[in-house]
Amino acid sequence: MTAQTIRHMLRDDDLSPAEQAEVLELALRLRADRHLEKPLAGPQAVAVIFDKPTLRTQVSFATGIAELGGYPLVLDGNLAQIGVRESISDTARVLGRQVSMIVWRTHAQSRIDEMAAVAGVPVVNALTDDFHPCQILADLVTIAQHRGGVAALAGQTLAYVGDGANNMAHSYLLGGVTAGMHVRVGTPEGYLPDAEILAAAAAIAEQTGGSVTVTSDAAAAVAGADAVATDTWVSMGDEATAAERAEPFVPYRLDAALLAHAAPDALVLHCLPAYRGKEITAEVIDGPQSVVWDEAENRLHAQKALMTWLLGQS
């Protein structure tokens, strides 16, 4: 591999619309045949590093790497103390000489950007404070699964209600419009998406026929939507502000009354973990419109597709 040909997935718009469609189509094929691709046969090792708590990310990447023929080298980022005990750049150089890919769940986006700059192998963002691109790929796979395929994504309306400034909102904006969707974010005024990310999403939407809308009116955000998503009101790292954050988000709770504003067959998404009675009610997440468990499974298929695609490009 040369530095000029390495492809990474650091944020959702690292994939062009055509490239995203390729990954999503492959994910659906891998969902149908989990052992279709073996790009890591050998086995080749993939470093999977966790600086933040994890369940679905660890399970889906470890399982996926194994099913692709590789070895998941799971590392405790807090034990490694990347950026403290040893610089990110030095760590990247060490890992890049021994593994075929690096997957990192970390804090600041600048950390994973620095890792990718010098690693010499593909680097995948398994969640940062700013983006969660692997989750959005899984969400898009889930919608495609229930709507007749990847081509059906274009023109669909995806509404997200909750914290508009968190990584899920940012990734829904970028990833959704890349698929040609109309993305609406319903959020309190004090929790708006990052302006640069919103501008980037709007620019992509001009090319794909999608659109972006940010509103403080939860019902307007959800009106007629084909899919409705939410996320916890308190992201990792914000636990100290849980009490003060709760009240502004109460009108954005995804309950039966709010869901009634969406299309009658709207799909309900939640990246998990979910807190029933807070950002979503049990009636909705456990109800007939919920595809949350398909969504959780599709983390596996989407990430396998992404890793296969990145290795093929690099």
Annotated catalytic, 134? no
| Three-class secondary structure of residue 89 per DSSP | helix
Q: Give the active site residue among 13, 231, 245, 301.
A: 231
Q: Is 57 exposed, middle or buried (0-12, 13-18, 19+ CB in 10 A)?
A: buried
Catalytic residue check, 231: yes
CA distance 156 to 88: 40
- In the set 8, 11, 31, 132, the catalytic residue is 132
Determine whether 299 is an active site residue.
yes
How is residue 189 written in tokens? Answer: 């005024």
97 is catalytic: no
Q: Is 132 assigned a catalytic role?
A: yes
**Separation of CA 57 from chain center:** 10
Confirm whether 135 is a catalytic residue.
Answer: yes
**Paired tokens of 242:** 């849980």
Q: Which of 105, 182, 184, 270 is catalytic?
A: 105
Which residue do the tokens 């045949």 mark? 33
Q: How far apart are CA 36 and CA 96, in angstroms?
A: 26
List the one residue out of 68, 57, 173, 63 whose CA is nearest residue 105.
57
Instruction: Considering the candidates 156, 271, 301, 303, report the single residue annotated as catalytic.
Output: 271
Catalytic member of 51, 56, 135, 139: 135
Catalytic residues: 105, 132, 135, 231, 271, 299
